[in-house]
Structure 1
C-alpha cells in the first residue's frame, strides 16, 4: 500500500501575511469560500492553525485581504474609440478578471463584498456610467443600462466558473440533446452541434451577448440624439 505524500511545510521563519493571502487565494480559487477553513489553510501552509492568528483575526479578515489583493490590481482599461468600444473593453476586462480569479467571484456571490469593495466597485461604475452618459442616454436609461451590463457580466462569469468546475455537466447536456427525438424537437436536434459549441465557449458566448446589449444601447443613444 502506498504511503500518503508528506505534508508540505513552510520553511522556518518564512510565514508572512503575503504568503498566507497567496495560499488563501489558491484555496479559494480551487474550492470556494464554502470549503475554506483556517485549518485547511494551515495544513496547506504546513503550519499550526494558531500561527495564522498572528497575522489575521479570522477567515473573514483573510477573505477581505484576498479580495483586496486582486481588486487593487484592477483598473478599468483606458482605450480609444467610440463610447461603445470603450464600454465593451471595460466590461470584457471585468469579465476576464472574474473568470481569471474565481476566488473574488465566489466571495462576491456569497456576500463577502462589504466594506472596501464598495470603493473598488465605484471606480468601475464611474467609468461605465460616464461612457453611457457620453453616449447621450438619459439619467434613468444610463442607470438601467449600467445595471444590465454589471448583472450580465457577473452572472456570465459565475456561469463560466461553475461550468469549468463541473465539466461533466456540459457532457451530460450534450448527451441529453443527442438523445432527443427529432420528431418532437426538430429545431433543437438540428442545431445540436451549434448548441454544444456554445456550451463550451464561455468567452465567445459572453462577447456575443455583450455585443447584443451594446447594439441595443446604440439604438437608444441614436433615438436620444434624434
Structure 2
C-alpha cells in the first residue's frame, strides 16, 4: 500500500494553490478578456452595499456586469476569491497619512480607518469572517506601515506581530459589534443611529423589576448617557496602545 499524507503534515509548495494575487501578476494578457478584476470588485461592492452580503451571488453579479455566470469563473475561482477582491477594493492605504515616526499615531489612524470602512461597508465584517486569506495587496500595505512604525522600537518579530494582532483584533471586534448593533436597530425600525436604549427597554425593565442584578440596576437608575460609539472606540484604542506600550516596555 502507498503512503498516505498525514492530516497534520505540512503541504508541499507544489500542493499549495496560487493566490488570486499571484495569478493576476503572472497571467498573460488575453484578447478574450471582457472584464477587469477592479470592475468585478466594484460591481460586487456596489451590490453588497445596496443589498447586503447575503444577497450577493455569482449569478446576480454576472447579471449586473452583463455577462454569463460561468464567464465570471474565468476571473475568480470561488466566492472566497471574490470576497478577497471586495475587501481589497475597500481598504485604501492611500488615505493613511500619519508620520511613521509616531507609532501611536500610525496605529490609532489605522484602527480608526478600519472602523470608518466597516461602517461604510457593513458587509465587511461578515466577509472578513468568511475569507481564510486576508493577505491582499491593500491589507499588506497597511501591515507594512504598521511594521514600519514599530521597526525603530526594541521588539522582536514575534512581538511586532503580537502588537499588530492585538490592535487589529480590537478594531475588528469593536467595529463588528457596532455594525451589528446598527443593523439590528435598523431592522427594528429605530434607524442605524438610534438610541440603543430604546431597543433594550423591555429587557431593562425586567432587569430592574427582578431585583437579581443590584449593581446593574444601580447603574441604570443613576443614569447612563447615550452610547457614543466613536468616543468609546477612541478610548479603547488609546487604552490598548497604553497597555501594549507597558507590556513591551516601549
Change over 3 Å in CA distance of 1:56–1:204 after alignment to 2: farther
The structure that is helix-richer by fraction is 1
Higher mean displacement: 58-67 or 31-40: 58-67
Displacement after TM superposition at 1:148 (Å)? 0.8
Alignment partner, residue 145 of structure 1:
163
Change over 3 Å in CA distance of 1:84–1:173 after alignment to 2: same
Unaligned runs of 5+ in 1: 1-14
Change over 3 Å in CA distance of 1:144–1:54 after alignment to 2: closer
Displacement after TM superposition at 1:213 (Å)? 0.6
Alignment partner, residue 3 of structure 1:
none
Q: 1:184 aligns with which of 199, 212, 218?
A: 212
Unaligned runs of 5+ in 2: 1-33, 191-195
TM-score (norm 1): 0.68
Q: 1:94 aligns with which of 114, 128, 141?
A: 114
Deviations 1:111-147, CA, capped at 9 Å, x for gaps: 2645x61x33222222223323434445443322211
Q: Does residue 36 of structure 1 match 2:56?
A: yes
Length, aligned pairs only: 200
Superposition RMSD in Å: 3.4
The answer to whether the Cα contact below 8 Å between 2:107 and 2:167 also exists between their aligned partners in 1 is no
Runs of 4+, deviation exceeding 6 Å: none
Distance 2:41 2:110 in 1: 27
Q: Does residue 27 of structure 1 match 2:47?
A: yes
Alignment partner, residue 234 of structure 2:
207
1:1-226 equivalence runs, <5 A: 21-41=41-61, 45=64, 50=68, 53-54=70-71, 57=74, 60=79, 62-71=82-91, 73-75=92-94, 77-80=96-99, 82-111=102-131, 113=133, 117=136, 119-167=137-185, 168=188, 170=196, 171-181=198-208, 183-192=211-220, 193-194=223-224, 197-198=226-227, 201-221=228-248, 224=249
The answer to whether the Cα contact below 8 Å between 2:58 and 2:72 also exists between their aligned partners in 1 is no
